[in-house]
Structure 1
Amino acid sequence: MSTIDIFPGLIATANIETGYFIECNEAVTDILGYSVEEFTSKPLVEFIHPDDRQRTIDEINRQLQSGLTICFQIRYQCKDNSYKWLSWQGTAADEDGKVYAVATDITEFKQAEADLEVSEKKFRSTVEGISDGFFILKDEDLILTYFNSSAEEILGREAKDVLGKPIFDAFPEAKGSIFEKQYRRAFDTKVATSFETYFGIAPYANWFDVRVHPVDDGISVFFQRTTERKQAEEKTRKLSQAVEQAGESVIITDAEGSIEYVNPSFTRMTGYSAEEVLGENPRILKSGNQSDEYYKELWNTITDGRVFNSSIIDRRKDGSQYPATMSIAPILNDEGSISHYVALQQDMTDHDMLEEQFRQSQKMEALGTLVGGIAHDFNNMLAGITGNLYLAKQSSEGNPKAIEKLRNIEGFSYRAADMIQQLLTFARKDRVSMKPFPFTPFIKETIKLLHSSIPENITLGEDVCADELIVKGDATQIHQVLLNLVNNACDALEWSTEPRITIRLEALQVDETFIEKHMGFATGVYAHLSVQDNGCGVPENRTSHLFEPFFTTKEVGKGTGLGLAMVFGSVKSHHGFVEVESVEGEGATFHIYLPLVDSEKIADSSKQDGEVTEKGQGETILFVDDQEGIIDTGKEVLESMGYQVMTASNGQQAVDLFKEHPEAIDLLLWMSSCP
């Protein structure tokens, strides 16, 4: 065996001029399957792949002309007709045209190279076809070695401008950010990581979802913009919170009417938890107040794709009923078919209560106007009656029987005047002296007086705060208010086995929550006075009429129906509020709310009793009234008492008389309603 046979590669000598191999070693058999004789018996070009023949001839000719060594890779046909890649290296041809060459089988290398090329093509096709941005960072410096087209579009940078650079040189604005921390972590630990962050400079600032994967000597990074998704999520979150936190009840059912969702307001409104109603039909709220025709119209409307709006009375879990406004709308899917229904309900209990309070307030205002006008006319008539009674008594001094009858008439007149005064108080047209005074001591003193005036079988309890609670008002009227309420309570306790009246006084801070259920109040601190009894109570259908003049729940002859009307008028004239709570058979509680005032100096509201001058000393009084009968009677009464009297029927006459006799007139008596 020769030396060339020991060599593992194919060694051959070829004559370039003849185009034949002259000799070769036995490796030709191992590599190509030919014997030495077979390999040297045919022109060498016949062993070369047809696609490589011309390239081989060109390469040999080039090397012959240049005198360079042979070096090229071509495919040779094996004896079994397959092909192998051979890498040839040889000497330049000598003067006889001989070339000495060595061939190495590189078929596996070429196959691996081809596979790699295919793999790279697939890789590039994949990463260039995805919408995610993608790049590869190599080495400790995190040098950009790949940057796909989506990365270019998302980040606003071209690959040619960033490849070959450390990423934080290419993107200096990201240095020190979460990107650097996470990239370094993935590179050092070889552990994949992901994160979401907001980053960039307008117009490329966005929310990004980033995924980092370790690779050989580096990391690969996938990222995508999530701004639209985040905005959609935020919109969905807001909508969800709006529904969850809405004050109205929200119910969502499927197309067949089975409940799939209810919000917390539904639970607050109905008493049913979500778990109790999911899968149920909304008919569990039916109260029986709506007819079958109502529900038929409802169903026909919404299944026709239209919105149904209506008022309704539904039933809570505890059996109680509540008024509501309701709106039901169909929800359409992408195909335009009804997939669900959404129903909104607003509890109108408080609204209806406030509306009723408003109507009652308007009615009381109207009654006040009417009563005030009537009371004024009655007062004028009573003034004429009492004046003439005074004169008649003066003329009947020698007739005791006549005087007694006149006094009886006078008593009835005063009782009528008292009723008129109560009517004026209800209408808030009487004169009051409004002064700041400490309410708490005043109430305590009034309670002391009440102890001696109420029946002994009635227990009078009190719970009065220690604070002074300064209010601005007329002490006489407030005293009468409390007396009327206590007298009313005493009458209600007639058949009670353990009659009790409790008077309470406290400071009440009125806030927005309180105002929501009590129309007309303003925020601030109020004196809250209440009178509670455990008597017969008032039927619910009568409580709204309690403060109307001449309305009474008592037997005939036991009440005028003006006591609570006077309470209402007095409290209103003090810018306060009066409310009643009552359960028939259990008793009633009347609540008085008066606004507190800040006052360091409280005027002394006590009144000194002055002496009444019954006889005049010739003083001159200018008496003004617009009714002739009152003028005549008043003039005669005053003259009988020793006064000189000038009269006028209107304001202009009075002014003219005063200008004519400025020194003579000592007193002016003027009816407040006189023009």
Structure 2
Amino acid sequence: MTSDGTGTADDFESGLSSPADSATIYPLVTGDGNRRVLREWLSTHDIYRVVDAEVDLEAAEFDLCIVDQGGLKRHADKLRRIKAETKPVLFPVLLLLPERQSEIIETDRGEIADNVFGTTIDEIVSLPIRQAELEWRIQALLRLRDQSLALQDRTDQLHQFKKAVEASGHAVYITDPEGTIEYVNPAFEELTGYDREEAVGRTPNILHSGEMPPSYFEELWETVLSGAVWEEEVIDRRKDGELYTAYQTISPITDGDDVTALVAVQVDITELKDVHRQLRVVDRILRHNLRNDLTVIRGQAERVRTDVSGELADAADEMIGLVDDLLTTSEKSRAITDVLSEQPDSQRIDIADVVRRIASAADADSSARIDVDVPDQAIASATTNVHEAIEELVKNAINHNGTESPSVSLSVTVNDQNVVVTVADNGPGIPEMDRAVLAAGDAIDDLYHGSGLGLWLVYWIVNRSGGSIAVGDIEPRGTRVTVSLPRDEVTTPATR
């Protein structure tokens, strides 16, 4: 391209194009020769799209504008407006300036005011120019534009994130790796009573209640500094001295292997804990009164049975059986209340050992045939009362079998993700309502009553262990209940 505004594509010296993503360029060049040569050169690049000159500058969509002195004089105001509207994203403008006019760059004298360069032009090249240099200048400006777009996108995301955190109904605070608070949201101020100025620069020790043992915080720090997420209940103290209970999640923010900050979220569960305590008190009172009354009734029925015979004795025996069933239901109700009231406490549990012990007890207490197939070890992550769920399934399979030769088979297998316990029997099958309880914790009929409390207990224990239950039929007769529990990946070998 020549410096006098005339020339052909042959006037370019040879150069190679560098790879780049597709970009749209608006060539705002007034010199006929340079405009033609520039458009022809750009059209040889698959990575560039050229805006039609008939499209108005402010209506066009493009990534970079190439302008000469005439185009700049004519469209300077529009270019400034476009650049102002796109800030902070870079809208790059490249000025082609004949070499004999390069002194304009060095002084504020001349036809083009210095402030035009300062606010409008991002790069100036002198003509004539080699293809390779022009290509490099274009690519450099496009890279800067891409970086500004990426930065703006990230800024927008952070702004949206901050708005979401600010509007959150749960307390959020961020600390550095040493625990110094750097940010709190309005919900934190409302929950704790500390405003932002009081909390920032201090540590979460301002919330220390003295209710949590030192081991709690030792385990917390060990967990988050290793890069893992901490989730537990905590009893903290507000600024006014009042205690509150929160479910707290602390997540480490990492850069590679380094923890650079911590995001903590507190959900206030004080009222929920109070409701749980009240329900447990009511539950204990009701069960205590029910147990006392049923014990009296059972004693009376036993005396009647010793003094009479025939139908009256049979009726007394039936009464004793009903009382025993109600007492069992009461105990299962207590177990369910305990499960739902306490925070899930998952631990490493050898399910193979649990199943062996349950099978041994069932074999000694019943006439059913008990078959067991378990590996030497199968470590799962489950709540400490998971044995109650498996035991309930075994008892249910035996007690509701209804055949002359009841049989139950217990097996444990381990796959890549789960420890799987299977309880299979040759009984009549499980009703649809009971299947719904086991699989989804759902009673499909409003008339579903308390006789299935044991199955509810199974569902809630497995659910709070992070597991699942499936129920299937066995041909020609029988049921297979499969309990899948998350395996402990560190210690459990997978078996096929």
Q: What band does the TM-score fall into relative to the shorter chain?
A: 0.3 to 0.5
Give the greater-gyration-radius structure (CA): 1
Higher relative contact order (CA 8 A, sep 6+): 2
Q: TM-score, normalised by structure 1?
A: 0.28
Q: TM-score, normalised by structure 2?
A: 0.37
Higher helix share: 2
